[in-house]
Amino acid sequence: MFMKSYKPNARAGLMTGIAVAALTISGVMASAETVRWARVADALTLDPHSQNEGPTHTLNHHIYETLVGRAVDGSLTPSLATEWGISEDDENVWVFTIREGVTFHDGSPMTAEDVVFSLDRARTPPSGMAALHAAVEEVTAVDATTVHVRMSGPAPLYVQNLTNTFIMSKAWAEANGVETAPNFAAGEEAYSVRNANGTGPYVLVERDPEVRTVLQAFDGHWNDAPAVTEIIYTPISEAATRVAALLSGEVDIVQDVPVQDIARLEQTEGVRVVRGPENRNIFFSYDMSSETLASSDADDNPFTKPEVREAMALAIDRNAIRQVVMRGESQPSAAPLPPFVNGWTEEMDAFGDPDLARAAELMAEAGYPNGFSVQLDCPNDRYLNDESICQALVGMLARIDIRVDLNAQTRSLHFPLIENWETDFYLLGWGVPTFDSQYVFDFLVHTREGSYGSFNGSRYSNPDLDAKIQSLATMTDLEERDAMIAEIWDEVMEERIFLNVHNQVLAYAMRDNINLDVHPENQPKMTTVTFD
Amino acid sequence: MTAFILRRLVQSVIVMLTVALVAFALFRFVGDPIASMVGQETTLAERAELRAALGLDDPFLVQFWNFVARAATGDFGISYRLQQPVMELILSRLPATLELALVSGILAFVFGVGFGVYTALRRGGWASSTIMTVSLIGVSLPTFLIGVLLIWVFAVELQWLPSFGRGETVYIGDWWRTGLLTESGRASLILPAITLGLYQMTLIMRLVRAEMLEVLRTDYIKFARARGLSNRAVNFGHALKNTLVPVITITGLQMGSIIAFSIITETVFQWPGVGALFINSVRFVDVPVMAAYLMLIALVFVVINLIVDLLYYAVDPRLRVDRANARH
């Protein structure tokens, strides 16, 4: 008799019942509600500036707060800053009004000094956030509630870079020897990796990396008390186990729902699935500049020919990829830009039906009546169904005699190929954390030099376009700037630098009495949870 | 005896060094850790700087030498992924793996021997046939699938047992966290232990059965029966005792594989042991953790083999005689 009756969800079910009863009787928020939240990976660290990584930010957003937040529709919301704007006296200076009456979890008040300290810590290497603050020259506290950030030039969109830069206590950091973000080369663990003192809505109670993190609502928080008073956060890396844990009632919210399980979960009683577009596009790109391709049997580089790029765009069947590979869970589009990002237009996303006859004509015109061969490099553990998307493309391009040899491998082998220009043809996914097109241009379109073009694997280089892209950074007239963005996009789409597939869609599954919206950056906040 | 132990120890060190060398040669094919360590905004120059600072550009023999030199002083570095010291990280995860391995090893041994004896004695009975058929499943189904099936039946459908994790844990001493002392800890252990031990159990069962059938045919069993000894005395006192020598050897050696194979089980059940740590480290190309883990597994095998060799030496007089003769 070794199978003892064990009902993991019995008590939780009872608690939910009590909470629901309390809601209906009193009409106010339930007094105690625990949410058990599972996702694929744990935060790498609790240090607020060490890693610029999704799951790390997502958890830290509950403990720490930023100056400005990001709502589910992508707009900016006040958080520790109540107001922000460019100084009227100096267009190089951003002015932030700091919220009054905010306290850290240890009881000390948050001051403008803490904001200055945090921004300085975030922009100093080895902080992982430094690149987002590269244009900052100086941060100063003008008075108790005003912070000035002086930029090296006009930076009209700098505030967009602040949505993941957390504010920490200067005194706490100094007391614990973590005045700078932890360094990999340091050889020892920093105090801030497993301890935290933020101003956020939840206080860290227990941190067991990769096992369990427990957070409790912070009594002294400046905002309204959240409906969720306790969070138990558990990483479950195996997809089948994660779904099983939800079905067995051991967790309440599952963040990373595998595409193939969505339909089944929707039909399960007591489970709700919500979905929404993620701020991430999936596209192919190719070497548009080398004389010859290493992996091709063609004598020259076919991707330099506009006809070939157009033929490929006519051969890809985005709707088929959506239906077959993504099981309906994607938004096919022609432009590598999520819809909520500044600069997106409906026209650039539109695409026609595949036209193989025309594509074949174009291939012949370009001088490849018998096609050519090429290797396609693809990650197999980074994006939703990434390898299957590549396999689908292989079949589609075969119809216009482009013989594709698929090389699918793990992300740590795939991305260096793009970084080192060792791939002729590759898949890449790109999110736009600043919610502005300039971010796409800077990293993917601009010639590779300095901080520009680090993910420009196409080797595309156009000095005219580079100049336009650089001018975006300092344009303060937003209308003029938007016109420039549209102009750049016209050229990028005309040149077909990207063969875009779709916009990724996120799905969260949860008990059906829980309401939580999909966050475009996949950073759900438990403060936004409500219960039916 | 001392010379023998010394010789074996020297051999063990050489084995460990070889494992480290092979591991380091392989790490170059796992990929570039920098891609997972920095955000997408990081410039190429900064990436190159970090790579140089971590010594990832060095030829692998240099990297290997640096690793061995530091490892010799007990310093395995800091995890790229979790930013904690590697030794501390592994030591904090080790109890989970050892408890799981121990419990599944015991389950495998007890049920393996029990079923083996039963099926050998009751050949052709319906219960024996059933056990043999089910054991075929145990051998042929991959661990991953067994784990998912068990989760589906016992966690989702019946809701008797938890589907993931280790339940509540308590500390014994400073660093050993055990799940054996709490109810939810014990409940959490059952499914992973069955998953991990099923293959070993079938192996032991089939071995015991074959050995038993072999022994039961021998003359001394026939003579024992002829002497009128009870079935119980014949089956367990004479037959089973004589089958157990190879079984114990195999079980001992399998303990090493149970620890090493716990990777899959730990991943399926989100069991916070060193196997899951290793898999996550591979995904992230966390070289310091991978290196230390492989050294640990090598050490486990080396120690087990050393103990087995020493036991043979102690048990089998022929080994000593041969060695004595060889010197002449």
How many CB atoms sit inside 10 A of residue B215's CB? Answer: 18
Measure in Å the smallest separation between the Cα of A4 and chain B Cα atoms.
7
Classified as helix, coil or strand, B176 is strand
| Best mean pLDDT range from B98-102, B172-176, B245-249 | B98-102
Using the 3D structure, point to which of A181, A209, A235 is the last residue of a domain. Answer: A235
Q: Which CATH superfamily is domain B89-273 in?
A: MetI-like (1.10.3720.10)
pLDDT tens-digit profile of B62-114?
Answer: 888 888 888 888 888 888 888 888 988 999 999 999 999 999 999 999 999 99
pLDDT at B243: 81
pLDDT at B233: 85
Please compute the mean of the pLDDT values over residues B240-262 and round it to a whole number: 80
A341 and A225 within one domain: no
- Any B CB within 8 A of A244 CB: yes
Q: Which residues of A touch B46 (CB under 8 A)?
A: 125, 131
Please compute the mean of the pLDDT values over residues A484-504 and round it to a whole number: 95
Q: Which residues of B touch A235 (CB under 8 A)?
A: 270
Q: Provide the CATH number for the domain around residue A100.
A: 3.40.190.10
Integer Cα distance of A80 and A97 in angstroms? 9
Classified as helix, coil or strand, B291 is helix
Does any domain span residue A491?
yes
A385 and A477 within one domain: yes
pLDDT at A466: 95
CA distances from A166 to A61, A149, B224 (A): 8, 15, 80
Q: Is A81 left (phi over 0), alpha (psi -120 to 50) or beta?
A: beta
pLDDT at A31: 56
Four-point Cα dihedral B288, B292, B298, B301, nearest 10: -150
Indicate whether A348 pLDDT > 70: yes
CA distances from A248 to A13, A20, B147 (A): 11, 20, 15
Indicate whether B318 pLDDT > 70: no
The alpha carbons of chain B give a radius of gyration, in whole angstroms, of: 24
State the residue for tokens 């190879």.
B246
Does any domain span residue A15?
no
Q: Does residue A48 contact residue A118 with C-beta atoms inside 8 Å?
A: yes
Strands A93-98 and A146-151, how do they pair? antiparallel
A308 and A212 within one domain: no
- Any B CB within 8 A of A248 CB: yes
Q: Which residues of B touch A47 (CB under 8 A)?
A: 83
Integer Cα distance of A198 and A49 in angstroms? 12
Classified as helix, coil or strand, A206 is strand
Task: Give residue B145's Cα distance to chain centre.
Answer: 19
Integer Cα distance of A480 and B313 in angstroms? 87
Burial of B245 (0-12, 13-18, 19+ CB in 10 A): exposed
pLDDT band at B3 (very low <50, low <70, confident <90, very high): confident
pLDDT at B162: 93
pLDDT tens-digit profile of A212-259?
Answer: 999 999 999 999 999 999 999 999 988 899 999 999 999 999 998 988
Q: Which two tokens stand for residue A341?
A: 């990002």
CA distances from B304 to A54, B77, B253, B257, B308 (A): 42, 27, 7, 11, 6
| Best mean pLDDT range from A13-22, A266-275, B73-82 | A266-275
Does any domain span residue A254?
no
Integer Cα distance of A325 and B46 in angstroms? 37
pLDDT at B100: 94
Q: Provide the CATH number for the domain around residue A489.
A: 3.10.105.10
Element (H, E) at A233: strand A230-235
Domain borders along chain B are 89-273
Among A2, A188, A419, beta carbon nearest to B85: A188
Q: Which of A167, A289, A295 lies closest to A222 in space, CA to CA?
A: A167
Helices (H), A384-477: 386-398, 411-419, 437-440, 463-472
A315 and A220 within one domain: no
pLDDT at B71: 85
pLDDT band at B164 (very low <50, low <70, confident <90, very high): very high
Does any domain span residue A273?
no
- Any B CB within 8 A of A7 CB: yes
Q: Contact B155/A244, CB-based, under 8 Å?
A: yes
Does any domain span residue A106?
yes
Q: Which of A210, A253, A515, A81 lies closest to B283 in space, CA to CA?
A: A210
Q: Contact B36/A236, CB-based, under 8 Å?
A: no
Q: Which residues of A touch B148 (CB under 8 A)?
A: 240-241, 244
Q: Does residue A116 contact residue A67 with C-beta atoms inside 8 Å?
A: no
Measure in Å the smallest separation between the Cα of A267 and chain B Cα atoms.
15
Q: Does residue A493 contact residue A234 with C-beta atoms inside 8 Å?
A: no
pLDDT band at B224 (very low <50, low <70, confident <90, very high): confident
Classified as helix, coil or strand, B137 is helix
Percent of chain B beyond pLDDT 70?
Answer: 95
Q: Which of B161, B140, B139, B134 lies closest to B150 in space, CA to CA?
A: B161
Indicate whether A361 pLDDT > 50: yes
Q: Does residue B162 contact residue A8 with C-beta atoms inside 8 Å?
A: yes
Integer Cα distance of A443 and A460 in angstroms? 12
Classified as helix, coil or strand, A406 is strand
Best A210, A264, A521 member to test B by mutation, with max B CBs in 10 Å, is A210
Please compute the mean of the pLDDT values over residues A128-136 and round it to a whole number: 87
Q: Which residues of B touch A41 (CB under 8 A)?
A: 280
Measure in Å the smallest separation between the Cα of A128 and chain B Cα atoms.
6
Integer Cα distance of A312 and A302 in angstroms? 11
Q: Contact A454/B43, CB-based, under 8 Å?
A: yes
Best B40, B67, B110 member to test A by mutation, with max A CBs in 10 Å, is B40
A298 and A436 within one domain: yes
pLDDT at A41: 87
Integer Cα distance of A201 and A216 in angstroms? 8
In the chain, the amino acid numbered B243 is: T
CA angle at A368 for the pair A365 and A369, rounded to the nearest 5°: 80
Average pLDDT, chain B: 86
Q: Which of B135, B138, B154 lies closest to B146 in space, CA to CA?
A: B138
Domain, as residue range, for A437: 278-505
Integer Cα distance of A424 and B282 in angstroms? 27
Among A131, A184, A235, beta carbon nearest to B80: A184
A321 and A390 within one domain: yes
Q: Which two tokens stand for residue A122?
A: 């975030």
Least confident of A100-109, B146-155, B232-241: B232-241
Q: Which two tokens stand for residue B145?
A: 């699938």
A309 and A196 within one domain: no
Q: Which two tokens stand for residue A355?
A: 């036209």
Q: Contact A412/B39, CB-based, under 8 Å?
A: no
Backbone angles phi, psi at A138, to 5 degrees: -155, 140
Strands A425-430 and A498-511, how do they pair? unpaired
Average pLDDT, chain A: 89
Q: Which two tokens stand for residue B189?
A: 């252990």
How many CB atoms sit inside 10 A of residue B12's CB? Answer: 17
* Chain A residue closest in CA terms to B70: A187
| Best mean pLDDT range from A23-27, B71-75, B148-152 | B148-152
Does any domain span residue A374?
yes
Backbone angles phi, psi at A498, to 5 degrees: -120, 140
Q: Which two tokens stand for residue B131?
A: 């056990």
Indicate whether B206 pLDDT > 50: yes
Within 8 A by CB and 6+ apart from A431, the residues are A278, A279, A280, A281, A338, A521, B40
> Is ipTM over 0.85?
no
Burial of A25 (0-12, 13-18, 19+ CB in 10 A): exposed
A298 and A216 within one domain: no
pLDDT band at A79 (very low <50, low <70, confident <90, very high): very high
Integer Cα distance of A515 and A528 in angstroms? 8
Distance from the first to the final alpha carbon of chain A: 40
Please compute the mean of the pLDDT values over residues B196-210 and round it to a whole number: 90
A112 and A163 within one domain: yes
A290 and A217 within one domain: no
Does any domain span residue A109?
yes
Counted domains in chain A: 2
A283 and A199 within one domain: no
Please compute the mean of the pLDDT values over residues B185-209 and round it to a whole number: 92
A303 and A230 within one domain: no
Integer Cα distance of B278 and B259 in angstroms? 12
Bridge partners (DSSP) of residue A147 are A96, A141
pLDDT band at A369 (very low <50, low <70, confident <90, very high): very high
Q: Does residue A4 contact residue B187 with C-beta atoms inside 8 Å?
A: yes
Integer Cα distance of A236 and A232 in angstroms? 13
Using the 3D structure, point to which of A203, A235, A267 is the last residue of a domain. Answer: A235
